[in-house]
Amino acid sequence: MNNQKNTLLDLSHTIDNGLITYKGLPAPIICDYLSREDSKHNYAEGTQFQIGKIEMVTNTGTYIDCPFHKFEDGKDVSQMPLERFVDLDAIVIHIPFTETIEITEEHLKGYDVKNRAVLIHTGWDTKWNTDAYFESNPYLTKGAAEYLRDSSVLLVGIDSHNIDDTRGNSRPVYTILLGAEILIVEHLCQLNLLPDSKFMFSAVPPKFKGVGTFPVRAYAKF
């Protein structure tokens, strides 16, 4: 019997009150709906609770994109099968932003990516929660997205502000990947601490109907 304990590595940023994930989108408001002090009036002495209240857009923190994010008739987070979020065989590909911000198919060739979650480590997460995070971030090209789609990957994750080139108004990477029901996880972190392969990746959103994007607690198990 193998009693070896798995290592769990958190790959998510912490969401706190006022966090700006994407310029132009409102920051989350996290507060008490019922404070511990106010709850004392409802319970016996020594018994108190806190009930939180959150107001936020779904593109907050580390989040997953499902087809509905881009396509009106695409599956939302409640419609995607649970196995698409959990314990995916994964690989990390290191493409430092100090070398390039334009990630092409040539950067991805030579890796065994079929039926895997492909995590792109650029190191951009080191700029998280700074103004620099929002400008000139690493992104995938249309050709890279087509290569990943044609290679039958299950999910693509990146530690950058956006998986697409935001300098233009088209979003070919979203169109190609989500159009093939390949999930996308953005704003990952700590990918530098992962082994190159032989690990499992999970990123599970709550089961909300009518939304294509939602924050996740992304993690690796190895």
pLDDT per position as a tens digit, 115-157: 999 999 999 999 999 999 999 999 999 999 999 999 999 999 9
CATH number for region 63-221? 3.50.30.50
Locate the DSSP E strands across 12-163: 29-34, 51-55, 63-65, 88-94, 102-103, 117-121, 139-140, 155-158
Alpha carbon separation from 36 to 31, 54, 104, 161, 188 (Å, rounded): 12, 17, 52, 37, 33
Using DSSP, how many helices (H) and how many strands (E) does the chain show?
4, 13
Task: Locate the domains of the chain by residue range.
Answer: 10-55, 63-221
The per-residue pLDDT for 1 is: 54
For 14-52, the pLDDT digits (tens) are 999 999 999 999 999 999 999 999 999 999 999 999 999
pLDDT bucket at 78, cuts 50 / 70 / 90:
very high
**If residue 217 lies in a helix (H) or strand (E), which one and from where to where?**
strand 217-221
d(Cα 128, Cα 4) in Å, to the nearest integer? 34
- Please check the confidence at residue 3 and state whether its pLDDT lies above 90: no
